[in-house]
Amino acid sequence: MTASFPGRFPDTRLRRLRRHDWLRRAVAETTLSAADLVWPLFVHDHRAPVAVPSMPGVERLPIEGVVRAAAEAVRLGIPAIAVFPVTEPTLKTDDGRLALDPDNLVCRTVHAIKRELGDTVGIICDVALDPYTTHGHDGLLVDGRILNDETVEVLVRQAVVLAEAGCHVVAPSDMMDGRVGAIREHLDAAGHEGVCILSYAAKYASAFYGPFRDAVGSKAALGVTDKKTYQMDPANTDEALREVALDLAEGADMVMVKPAGTALDIVHRVKTTFGVPTFAYQVSGEYAMIQAAAANGWLDGPAAALESVLVMKRAGADGILTYFAPELARSLGS
């Protein structure tokens, strides 16, 4: 930023530039459009949509519902969707091996979207074991510890399975060390050098993931345990930069900061330090807070949603994953 001298009152009156709507729009430094948004969607293996109680307005959708939502994203100018599977509890195992099954729900969903929409909408898939493990952790749990290198070996296979299914972007969300490099190497070896890696590089151990864990059913599984031995301590910022630096060195194409609203400082530091495509995830708890307050008449919901996402862009995010994506895109245009 260049230093500018603000002048003095009364020659300088900053309110002059706020006088009219056209003028405010003309001088706005940040603008938000549908192209800045990514729409996260939940898919389940049932015929009807089922509401997620802690995320009013969000439903777990059948595969056809996700395909329809993806088509809606195309119409609205939303460039990409992120697909999260809800696994039947009876299909979960200790080692989450369903993650490696090319016929699992998320792979079938990716196939269905590709069949209908080809490459007109980006498909982002999480790489992590939590949808598939009985204990709800993102990695392999042995004697109360999450194993790093053993987990990475499984994650690289999961990433290849997702790439074979046709997803455009794999997004490791597990926070194991060294997984980005290993995934890149295995994707390339399998002929998927065109598949991008969006690394959840700075992902904090956060209370704001609660409603998401309700939605995918990993909360009950996780019980009283937490993810603090692999997700980051919200007290830290330098560590976030180290995480991002490592992931970029290992070949991440894009990085993510999460949650977004409680880490705008991190979004800003990451973008200004590295100058790479930086995404911010407005997570389930952030969405739930706004929706709950709006439902009580305590907040203007649409205005709060728009403001909360706009400031993520202002902080430096090139793209924002948000459950408000379709509503925002409708009100913003592309």
Residues that bind ligand PBG (CB under 6 A): 126, 128, 130, 138, 173-174, 209, 212-213, 227, 283-284
Q: What percent of the chain is helix, strand and coil (3-state, nearest 5)?
A: 45, 20, 35
Nearer to ligand PBG (CB atom), residue 78 or residue 283? 283
Nearer to ligand PBG (CB atom), residue 39 or residue 212? 212
Q: How far is the CB of 229 from ligand PBG (least distance, A)?
A: 13
Q: How far is CA 274 from each of CA 32, 168, 181, 202, 247, rounded to the nearest angstrom? A: 22, 23, 18, 13, 12
Nearer to ligand PBG (CB atom), residue 36 or residue 286? 286
Q: Taking CA 136 as the corner, what is the angle to CA 83 and CA 244, rounded to the nearest 5 degrees?
A: 65
Catalytic residue status for 313: no
Question: What are the structure tokens assigned to 246, written together?
Answer: 């490592």
Q: How far is the CB of 279 from ligand PBG (least distance, A)?
A: 12
Helix spans in 6-78 (H):
21-27, 63-76
Omega of the bond leading into 102 within 30 degrees of 0 (cis): no
Catalytic residue status for 258: yes
- Decide: 216 and 224 in contact? Cβ < 8 Å: no
Q: How far is the CB of 171 from ligand PBG (least distance, A)?
A: 8
Q: How far is the CB of 54 from ligand PBG (least distance, A)?
A: 10
Nearer to ligand PBG (CB atom), residue 36 or residue 130? 130
β-bridge partners, 41: 83
Which residue of the set 203, 227, 271, 313 is catalytic?
203
Which residue of the set 114, 227, 258, 313 is catalytic?
258
Name the residue with the smallest CB distance to ligand PBG: 212
Helix spans in the chain (H):
21-27, 63-76, 105-117, 149-165, 179-189, 210-216, 219-222, 238-249, 264-274, 284-295, 301-315, 325-332
CA 94 to CA 71: how far, in whole Å?
36
Nearer to ligand PBG (CB atom), residue 12 or residue 176? 176
Q: How far is the CB of 202 from ligand PBG (least distance, A)?
A: 13
Could you give the residue numbers annotated as active site? 203, 258
